[in-house]
Structure formats: structure tokens, C-alpha cells
Amino acid sequence: MSTQTPRSGCTATVLLVGFEPFGDDAGNPGWDAVRLLDGAQIGGRRVVAACLPVTFGESLRQLQAHIDRLAPELVIAVGLAGGRSRLSLERVAINVDDARIPDNAGACPIDCPIVDDGPAAYFSNLPIKAMLVALRDAGIPAEVSQTAGTYVCNHVFYGLMHALRHQPGVRGGFIHVPYSPAQATRRPDAPSLPAATVAEGLRIAVQAALDTAQDLRIAAGAVH
């Protein structure tokens, strides 16, 4: 993790954010994939990986500090969606915390706004349809998702988009990833993807985001 590295003056930065483990798990496949890309060059930009705590509030304070320090042109947070089978490109973050399990600091907010008087939701401003196509073309399973849940992932996604609301040149969004194979061994029937596959997918998704000014118009919604 090169999060201490001072920002190079000459290279634009892509900030990829992962998360600590939470619940019963020893690892977090979002962070496991993100850190494989730390220091990589994608589309001429330098990738910086950072790891956030799975805590309401503190996660957003640390995210803001990373953004302030790095002034990235693109920020993607990458969290675990245990039970999903593919990279989920999140469309929308909603202004509510509703925690089924405590966060890593023991907090369990129920039906609390993330930002008082904030809008009910923010849409990702990533070109999620173009990213979807790029992933499929590369043979990486992906989907557009209409909900990032109501736990710390949605919290960070909403907080990220709120932080970027006055920086129109900076793009941000969220990608959920499946369990790792090792995590899936302990859960009947749960899908999984290895970190190398997820990291390759993130690389392709970042490239597509950097390459796409105007998103594609292809259907990727949900009937319900």
C-alpha cells in the first residue's frame, strides 16, 4: 500500500479504495484485489490503493483525507458483496444507513441519514455501461447493480459522491465484488472469484472509465 507516498506532480492519479475485513471473515476480497493494482499504470495514470475501515463515519473521514492528499481524477471504492457472482457496477447510493450487523467499531445505525439534509441519492458518474461492455468483452462477469445496500459500502459510496459534488471533473463510483474462493469454502453454494480475476476486471473497468467521456446507451436495468 503506497498510501503514504506523496503525489507525483506529473502523473494523474486513480484512487482505488478497498476495505478491511468485517463480519466473520479474515480477509476482504475488495482490498485483496485493489492492492494488487497499487502502483500500477492504467491509461497513463498511477493507481494508488488505500484501505478503509468498515466503520460508519470514520471510513468517510479517511476517504476524504485520501482525496485531499491525492487529488485523484478518478475514485472507485471496491467492497465485498458476499453472495453475488460478478463485478457489480453500482448505479446509485442512497442517503440511509441501516445496519443488519455492527460495523467494526460496534455501531449499528438504523434508518439514519448519512448526510443530514443531503439528497436522497446520488448516481455514480462513472460510465457504468461502457465499463460493463469492456468487462464482458474481456470475459469477466459483470453487471450493473441498482442497489449498494444500506451498510458501510453504500455509506462510503454516498459519502464519496457527496464529496465530489462540487468537483465536476472528478469521477467516482463503487464496484462490489464476490467472495474469494477461500471465503466461499465456508458458505454453502456461494459464488466466488479469485483476486487475480477481480484485479484484472478492475484494471479493465478503470481503463474503460478513463477512455469514455460519454457513456453508452445500452440497457442494463432491472425489471424489479
Is there a catalytic annotation at residue 176? yes
Tell the residue number behind the cell numbers 492519479, with chain if given: 13
CB of 97 to a copy of itself, least distance (A): 8
Nearest residue (CB) to a copy of itself, 81 versus 202: 81
Residue 166 interacting with a copy of itself (CB under 8 A): no
Q: Using CB atoms within 10 Å of the CB of residue 122, give its burial: 0 to 12 exposed, 13 to 18 middle, 19+ buried.
A: buried
Residue 192 interacting with a copy of itself (CB under 8 A): yes
Residue 39 interacting with a copy of itself (CB under 8 A): no
Which residue stretch of 9-17, 66-74, 183-191, 202-210 sits at the interface with a copy of itself (rule: CB under 8 A)? 183-191
Is there a catalytic annotation at residue 200? no
Residue 69 interacting with a copy of itself (CB under 8 A): no
- The site for a copy of itself (CB under 8 A) is made up of 23, 79-86, 88, 91-92, 94-101, 108, 110-111, 119-123, 129, 135-136, 139-143, 146-151, 153, 176, 180-182, 184-185, 188-194, 196-197, 215, 217-224
> Which positions are catalytic?
90, 153, 176
